[in-house]
Structure 1
Amino acid sequence: MERPTVTLRNFEESDLDDFMEWATDEEVYRFSMRETFKSREEAEFYIKNEAMGHPWLKAICVEGRAVGSISLYRGLGNSSCRAEIGYLVARNCWGKGIASQAVKLCLSTAFTDMPDLERIEGLVEPENVASQKVLEKAGFVKEALLRKFFTAKGKTRDFYSYRFLSEDLPHSM
Structure 2
Amino acid sequence: MERYSDSDITLRPLDVSDADDFMKWYSDEKVSAFCSWDTFTSKEAAIQYVVDNVIPHPWHKAICISGRPVGSISVSPFTGRDKCRAEVGYVVASDYWGKGIATRAVKMAANAVFVEWGELERLEAVVAVKNTASQRVLEKAGFMREGILRKYSLLKGRPTDAVIFSLLSTDPRVNFFMDA
* Same topology, TM > 0.5: yes
Which residue pairs with 1:59 in the alignment?
Answer: 62
Which residue pairs with 2:179 in the alignment?
Answer: 172
Is 1:21 aligned to 2:24, yes or no?
yes
CA pair 122-90 structure 1, distance change in 2 beyond 3 A = same
String of CA shifts for 1:7-64, please: whole Å, max 9, x gaps. Answer: 0001122111101111100100111111111211111112223212211000000011
The correspondence of residues 26-65 of structure 1 with structure 2, limited to 5 A, is 26-65=29-68
Q: Which moved more, 1:44-53 or 1:149-158?
A: 44-53
In the alignment, the residues of structure 2 paired with residue 21 and residue 154 of structure 1 have an alpha-carbon distance, to the nearest angstrom, of 24
> Considering only aligned residues, what root-mean-square deviation do their CA atoms show, in Å?
1.2
Q: Which runs of 5+ in 2 are unaligned?
A: none
Equivalent position to 2:141, from 138, 143, 152: 138
Cα offset, 1:2, TM superposition: 4.2
Q: Which runs of 5+ in 1 are unaligned?
A: none
TM-score with structure 2 setting the length: 0.92
Task: Considering fraction of residues, name the structure with more helix.
Answer: 2
**Partner letter of residue 52 of structure 1?**
I
Cα offset, 1:96, TM superposition: 0.4
Which residue pairs with 2:109 in the alignment?
Answer: 106
Q: How many residues align?
A: 173
Equivalent position to 2:126, from 123, 128, 132: 123
Is 1:95 aligned to 2:102, yes or no?
no
CA pair 49-138 structure 1, distance change in 2 beyond 3 A = same
